A and B are shown apart, each in its own frame.
Chain A
Amino acid sequence: MNDGDRRYGMETRAVHAGARPDPSTGARQTPIYQTTSFVFDDVEHAASLFNLQTFGYFYSRLTNPTVAVLEEKIANLEDGRAAVACASGHAAQFLAFFTLLEPGSHIVASRYLYGGSVTQFTKSFARLGWQADLVDPNDPDIVEAAIRDETRAIFVEVLANPGGIVVDLEPLVAIARHHRIPLVVDNTLATPCLIQPIHWGADIVIHSATKFIGGHGTSMGGVVIESGAFDWFASGKFPGMTEPEEAYHGLTFAETFGDFGFTMKARTVALRDFGPSLSPANAFHLITGCETLPLRVQRHCDNALEVARHLETHPKVAWVSYAGLESSPWHGLARKYLKNGFGSVFTFGLKDGFDACTRMVEASGLFSHLANIGDTRSLVIHPASTTHRQLTSEQRATAGAADDTIRLSIGIETVSDLIRDLDEALEEA
């Protein structure tokens, strides 16, 4: 029985969604379609494909059967209508915003964003004529005051990297609806296992699949998911969706493709013209990772809570910022929005500051010193001596990367081993 009417649990969907047996070969695991191109049946078929009049593959810059399995899987896990995958989380943000914005458009974004996104928004996006204001997302008055006539999106990381900050989505949904603009939510750190932002009213969800979705630190990837619920015509603020597109002979995306028109436009204009496609091999690794996502996320979260609780009682530790701790100012919001756990990326501070942090990072035998997060392996970084070292002390503090701050991404190892290793490293610090 192939019935889409049944409801399935997250674990079943993580394994099966999008990944039905290969229609041409019956292959049970998703094959890696390592090919740039697909032959046309005839000239008429080619014309139909180029005109978007039929569904099909022709060039892997736009669509590929392996990549499509990942796209449908993530769209399903997020309870979205459709998704487009691309080369990285940064590329996903670019595809989403290129599809929403025009030169002169404005974004209201959370000031609690991954540092790389802050740079992307304030430096590179600015060169395209897109302005961004970074504000406190948990103060609705400030968010409301930042909205302008040209604002075309509100953007937040619901569970922010790195500080264990949780964003209160409900007031933002109300503001976005009032202004008839989409709420765009990055769900990389929480994953759909902890929250499905679309259920709270998000219109577009973004993932760096490089992190928990892939989960093993093997492959870069990004995904943009569309809820299908945003009414582009009622908004009237997105001519790119509701007026004829010259590049496709006057096709109107929101009309022709309805509730997946945004995804179609992101794919057939932004992905086609800028080209940050996901490789089929990377898609395969991300799909394989996805199959165990709920299992891994649960262990990540359970381990992180135990490690955070331990660090909070350690004499050398000044503070721990983890939404799962009752001491966290975001614990209440975390309890409201997150199920199953509180994520596994958080920061803590050492009483002895910069030098103690660098000694601790170098002394760890089990935590890998690197810049990624969401790996099976536990990871550690001291932002002030690495990713943020070009900034002044004051700038680092503002960026949430103060001299005394260490970021951990807790893996799925045996938690007592992680705690012992941290204790030994703190001895040296």
Chain B
Amino acid sequence: MAGHDHYSDEALRSILRRCRTIAMIGASPNWVRPSYFAMKYLQGKGYRVIPINPGAAGHTVLGETVLGSLDELQAPVPMVDIFRNSQAAGGIVDEVIRLRNDKHFEVVWMQLGVRNDAAAQRAEAAGLEVVMDRCPKIEYGRLSGELSWSGVNSGIITARVLRL
């Protein structure tokens, strides 16, 4: 995907349709944290979300056992969602690149407020698709019409019933 200031709806829709298993790095067992919101919502839409958080490894979050690292994932996991700050995202992206073939990673997604252009370049050079500064929950909601229920401008003009 060229350029990271804007992503086409077509590209985001394609990612959300095909990546049904998501490794969520920084998933929190604390139920008021944004990562918990996102995990719970995506599970409700039929996604399997596997939490990764060394600080909470072995705990159960929303029915899933928290893993300590990406190494522990069982392939295939097409998407990694990073709930860490922009700087920390760099090292995580390098891990994703290292394990790319092993785990069948296709997409690195960095959360709202997380952007690391150098890491994105490395990931793209390694053949990964990159989304930054977006939330998969919010994009799922926007493209499916659910975000509009909260008065958010989806930007989607259509005379057809909206589906993701």
Contact = CB atoms under 8 A, between A and B. Distances in A.
Interface of A: 1-6, 8, 12-13, 16-18, 20-23, 26, 48, 51-57, 63, 65, 68-69, 71-72, 75-76, 80-85, 244, 248-251, 255-256, 258, 260, 263-264, 267
B40 A267 contact: no
Given A4-B9, A256-B34, A258-B112, A55 B149 contact: yes
Identify the interface centre among A4, A65, A249: most chain B CB within 10 Å of its CB. A4
A287 to B, nearest CB: 13
Nearest to A268: B150
B148 interface: yes
11 contacts: A2-B160, A2-B162, A12-B157, A20-B158, A68-B149, A75-B151, A82-B150, A82-B153, A258-B138, A260-B150, A263-B150
A4 B12 CA distance: 11
Contacts of B159: 16, 20-21
The 5 closest A-B pairs by CB, nearest first: A71-B151, A4-B155, A75-B153, A55-B146, A82-B152
Contacts of B51: none
B91 interface: no
Contact of A80 (B141, B149, B153, B157): B153
Interface in B135-155: 135, 138, 141-143, 145-155
Contact of A55 (B113, B141, B160): B141
Contacts of A21: 159-161
Contacts of B163: 2
A83 B146 contact: no
B41 A72 contact: no
Interface of B: 8-10, 31-32, 34, 36-37, 40-41, 44, 112-113, 135, 138, 141-143, 145-163
Nearest to B35: A256
Contact of B151 (A6, A13, A26, A72): A72
Contacts of B135: 258
B138 A8 contact: no
B32 A249 contact: yes
A2 B34 CA distance: 28
Contacts of B40: 48, 53-54
Given A2-B156, A8-B157, A75-B151, 15 more contacts: A2-B162, A4-B154, A4-B157, A16-B159, A18-B153, A23-B161, A53-B36, A55-B141, A56-B146, A83-B153, A256-B34, A258-B113, A258-B138, A263-B152, A267-B151
A51 B162 CA distance: 26
A17 B159 CA distance: 10
B interface, over-half SS: loop
A256 to B, nearest CB: 5
A57 B163 CA distance: 18
B32 A251 contact: yes
A209 B150 CA distance: 18
Given A2-B158, A4-B155, A55 B32 contact: no
A26 B141 CA distance: 19
Contacts of B152: 72, 75, 81-82, 260, 263
Contacts of B141: 55
A72 B148 contact: yes
Contacts of B142: 4
B150 A267 contact: yes
Nearest to B133: A258
B149 A65 contact: yes
Contacts of A53: 36-37, 40-41
A251 B162 CA distance: 30
Given A3-B9, A53-B37, A54-B40, A20 B149 contact: no
Identify the interface centre among B8, B32, B143, B145: most chain A CB within 10 Å of its CB. B32
A85 B152 CA distance: 11
Contacts of A256: 34, 37
A55 B150 contact: yes
B151 A263 contact: yes
A84 B152 CA distance: 9
Nearest to A255: B34
Contacts of A57: 149
A65 B151 CA distance: 9
